[in-house]
Amino acid sequence: MGIFQYHSALRRRQTELTEYRSAVRALARPGPQQMKAFAEYVSESHSWYKRLPWWPWSVAFEVYLDPAAGMDLVIDGTGSVVKAAERNEPGFHYASLKTADHLSRFGHLTYSDRHTNKLVLAKGMRASEEIDAIDKAERAKAKPPGVNRYYNLKTNQHCVLPASVSSTGRFAVNALIHPASCSLQTVTHGIDRAAREAQKKSGDAKAAPGRDHLERLVHARELVRDEKLWPWPEASGGNAQLLLIIDRTIEREKSRVKTWRIGHVGTADDPVLEDLIRPERQRQLNEIAAACERACALIYDKEEAPA
């Protein structure tokens, strides 16, 4: 990149950030309790224990302020967002709250999730036009990839979120963020996969045990004791905590007492496992709340934020 292109890109980033700060700075700053509540909301806004990898892997998300947080985005026949409208009833997805409820509980916090703002079709379109509009809108949301958007209520424009805002509010979580991730079935498969991947990465010639869950759990415990498995986060108890989790899982596997609970979000089948995993879930909740604080500080605490 030449010097001219560099300065041009820098000015563009500064302009985008100035426009974003102008759009959101008049919004009420979310308080600490709203940030904590938002972290809990994010943790249960999807069945993350199905969608995200178990420890030690994680997936990055971004939290930021959006003037249209909790609102519906209305699209026209071209798939373009033409306005933001209050959501007076909960949306089809359980994460789509009424706008008033969202603002009361979380302020204008939102995060990089396609269900946060629901696309709504403008009135008067035929069925074929509706299908075409939705397809165009979905393709538009994917361009450019990995870029978040916010709705500027002052200019009625769906704008690209500045990269510096996304990076400031970035946090990483995995399946353990969801309360149901501590079911016996999920923990058994999660530990087993981590052990197999660690052994594959190390090139250990020792043959892994067969398909028996108990044998594989015992093998994983040996890897932890030999420090051949990824370390459990120190803030959540370190490997001593991981050994307790594996030991409890082995105990349950031996007893063959499995009471699966299906369809009720937020419950697990073993209170002991739930207690052992809770510190790691709380650590991830704290990471989300900290990201909320950083995202707000970028707007409210700095006269000039870096582009």
Give backbone dihedrals phi and psi of 185, rounded to 5 degrees, phi first: -60, -45
Distances (CA, A) of 176 to 108, 186, 233, 266, 284: 26, 10, 12, 12, 8
For residue 208, is it within any domain? no
Query: Cβ contacts of residue 17 below 8 Å, gap of 6+?
Result: 162, 164, 165, 305, 307
Q: Which of 42-51, 100-109, 121-130 has the lowest mean pLDDT?
A: 121-130
| 270, 244 Cβ separation under 8 angstroms | no
For residue 125, is it within any domain? yes
Q: pLDDT at position 270, please? A: 83
For residue 75, is it within any domain? yes
Beta bridge partners of 186: none
For residue 108, is it within any domain? yes
The closest alpha carbon to 132, from 83, 71, 75, belongs to: 75
At 6-16, the pLDDT tens digits run: 556 567 778 88
The closest alpha carbon to 285, from 45, 27, 116, 29, belongs to: 45
For residue 23, is it within any domain? yes
Total domains in the fold of the chain:
1
SS3 27: coil
For residue 165, is it within any domain? yes
pLDDT classification of 164: cutoffs 50, 70, 90: very high
Sign of CA dihedral 227, 229, 235, 241: negative
At 61-94, the pLDDT tens digits run: 999 999 999 998 888 877 778 888 898 888 767 7
Q: pLDDT at position 108, please? A: 97
For residue 276, is it within any domain? no
Range of the domain at 86: 10-174+285-300
Q: Three-state SS string across 176-218, please? A: HHCHHHHCHHHHHHHHHHHHHHHHHHHCCCCCCCCCCHHHHHH
Longest Cα separation, the chain = 69
For residue 267, is it within any domain? no
Q: pLDDT at position 113, please? A: 72
Beta bridge partners of 149: 160
pLDDT(44) > 70: yes
SS3 145: coil
Q: pLDDT at position 92, please? A: 67
Q: Quick one: average pLDDT of 259-264?
A: 42
Only one residue has tokens 């079935």, namely 185
pLDDT(253) > 60: yes
Q: Please indicate, yes or no, whether the overall pTM of this predicted structure exceeds 0.95.
A: no
| Secondary structure letter of residue 20 according to DSSP | H
